[in-house]
């Protein structure tokens, strides 16, 4: 079973990943949680380049770096884990590339589909939970967590986060479009709900989609 979480930065994905991991582990599943980009030595190095580097990166360069990081993670970690029966939960996968590099940066979606398929060796998530939040609310949430006043210091933002509100608006719309295009596996959830309520909805959807898995 391969479960992914998506949504713009600050939507609360990592909290839900942790809660789901705990829940599934208690139910007796062996669970591996991962976050993208990263997860292998090479992929973590690419992550540093993408997020903390102060250098400009072209949109195509950015796309290929995220994809290179993903190929490392899929081949070395995700595929072997799934083959040995482990449930993998990933905090972001190729839908992030479609939303951020496709809708956000404006790279051709047809080209993206091809690159996503190469980088994942054709692997698709069984189910994807996307937490929907407006960029403004996400920013407020992010900085209130860090207890930084709302007149925040821009140097606190990583390279992607410095892309501006209009960029995040396009990314959010990209996710909403993905939810329409990928109805089979995409579950859109309102990130404005209470953490516990979102967790309950996730458990309900998993049980409804995969009753055998939850018996
Ligand atoms: P991260 O610190 O993991 O943020 P978050 O907690 O929001 O997941 O940073 C990952 C950043 O990289 C985030 O801004 C989304 C972006 N990203 C892409 O632009 N394309 C991708 O394919 C992936 C995986 C992430």
Looking up residue 74, the CATH number of its domain turns out to be 3.40.50.300
Which residue, by CA, sits nearest to atom 7 of ligand 1? Answer: 9
For ligand 1, the distance from its centroid to the CA atom of residue 134, given in whole angstroms, is 16
CB 89 within 8 A of CB 5: yes
Atom of ligand 1 nearest to the CA of 11: 7
pLDDT tens, residue by residue, 25-81: 999 999 999 999 999 999 999 999 999 988 899 999 999 999 999 999 999 999 999
**Helices H, strands E: what count in the chain?**
9, 5
pLDDT tens, residue by residue, 110-127: 999 999 999 999 999 999
Rounded CA separation 211/201 (Å): 15
Atom of ligand 1 nearest to the CA of 69: 24
Range of the domain at 63: 2-214
CB 2 within 8 A of CB 91: no
Which residue, by CA, sits nearest to atom 6 of ligand 1? Answer: 9
Rounded CA separation 111/147 (Å): 40
Number of domains in the chain: 1
> Full-prediction pTM beyond 0.85?
yes
Which residue, by CA, sits nearest to atom 3 of ligand 1? Answer: 36
């Amino acid at each position: 079973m391969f479960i992914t979480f998506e949504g713009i930065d600050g939507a609360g994905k990592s909290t839900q990943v942790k809660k789901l991991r705990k829940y599934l582990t208690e139910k007796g599943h062996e669970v591996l949680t991962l976050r993208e980009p990263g997860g292998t030595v090479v992929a973590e190095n690419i992550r540093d380049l993408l997020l903390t580097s102060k250098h400009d990166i072209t949109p195509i360069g950015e796309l290929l770096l995220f994809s290179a990081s993903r190929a490392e993670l899929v081949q070395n970690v995700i595929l072997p884990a799934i083959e040995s029966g482990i449930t993998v939960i990933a905090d972001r996968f190729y839908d992030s590339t479609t939303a951020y590099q496709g809708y956000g940066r404006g790279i051709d979606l047809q080209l993206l589909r091809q690159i996503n398929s190469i980088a994942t060796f054709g692997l698709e998530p069984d189910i994807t939970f996307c937490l929907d939040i407006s960029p403004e609310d996400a920013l407020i949430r992010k900085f209130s967590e860090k207890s930084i006043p709302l007149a925040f210091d821009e140097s606190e933002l990583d390279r992607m986060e410095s892309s501006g509100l209009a960029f995040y608006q396009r990314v959010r719309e990209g996710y909403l479009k993905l939810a329409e295009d990928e109805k089979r596996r995409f579950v859109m959830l309102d990130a404005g709900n209470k953490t516990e309520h979102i967790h309950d909805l996730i458990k309900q959807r998993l049980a409804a989609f995969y009753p055998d898995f939850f018996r």
